[in-house]
Amino acid sequence: MITVALPKGSLLKDSIELFKAVGFDFSGLLAKDNRQLQIVDSSAQARGLLVRAKDVPVYVEYGQAQIGIVGYDVLREKQPKVAHLADLGFGGCRLSVAVANDSGYLSAMDLPPHCRVASTSVNSARQYFQAIDLAVEIVPLSGSVELGPITGMSEAIVDLVSTGTTLRQNNLTELDVLYYSTARLIAHPLSYRLNDDGLSDVIQRLKAASSAASSAQKTSARV
């Protein structure tokens, strides 16, 4: 039986739809009254684990799941030892530098040296500011990063942006994009090489279903 690590949050619905397209139905995890953290597909060929998005690569790296779906931002931040197999195209967002609307800054380069920058993506933020040769203090947060500039704790933030609504509602302006992120298919390297439980076939079907969904979306957009 193949074990799949599924991410809680914004990627879950599309992840379940993708697996459903290849015959694995984990839709019970979407039920509002669901409290289960694992579910066996009706075909009894696969088991789904519902875990925090940032923990998906941990479950895959340590072999508790053969495959999983996770945002590219998590892969960039955590650098797990997993096989990165495919860009699935959904869950698009970006990691960006943002500041208060009235700050007067036009780019990250305008920030004063040694200022504070709050972020949940500490490693990515640090690497970015090192790359532009600007010394800053990274303040690690686990949520509500937007409060940094609002309270005066930080001059700027580095945070994931999807629609930009949260930034606008908190009077923040996006300055620069560090990188763009989408959902990615990952696998345990050894399981992938050994083709445990017909894993290679499942992966090829997932890739084909993802490509078909992407093509359908592009066709719909043109129409």
How confident is the model over 85-124, as pLDDT tens digits? 999 999 999 999 999 999 999 999 999 999 999 999 999 9
pLDDT confidence tier of residue 219, bands split at 50, 70 and 90: low
Domain boundaries, the chain: 2-91+182-222, 93-180
Question: In this structure, which amino acid lies at residue 151?
Answer: T
Q: What is the pLDDT of residue 71?
A: 97
* HEC-encoded secondary structure of 111-132: CCCCCEEEECCHHHHHHHHHHC
Mean pLDDT of all residues in 62-75: 97
Determine the CATH number of domain 93-180: 3.40.190.10
Determine the CATH number of domain 2-91+182-222: 3.40.190.10
Q: What is the pLDDT of residue 197?
A: 80
Element (H, E) at 191: helix 189-194
Please give the distance of CA 80 from its chain centroid, rounded to a whole number. Answer: 13
pLDDT in tens, 147-201: 999 999 999 999 999 999 999 999 999 999 999 999 999 999 999 998 878 899 9
* 2-91+182-222 and 93-180 have identical folds: yes
CA–CA gap between residue 117 and residue 105 (Å, rounded): 14
Q: How many CB atoms lie within 10 A of CB 211?
A: 13
Q: How many CA atoms lie within 13 A of 40 on its CB side?
A: 5
**How much of the chain, in percent, has pLDDT values that exceed 70?**
96
Map tokens 């500041």 to a residue: 99
pLDDT at 134 over 90: yes
- Cβ-count burial of 123 within 10 angstroms (0-12 exposed, 13-18 middle, 19+ buried)? middle
Q: What is the pLDDT of residue 112?
A: 96
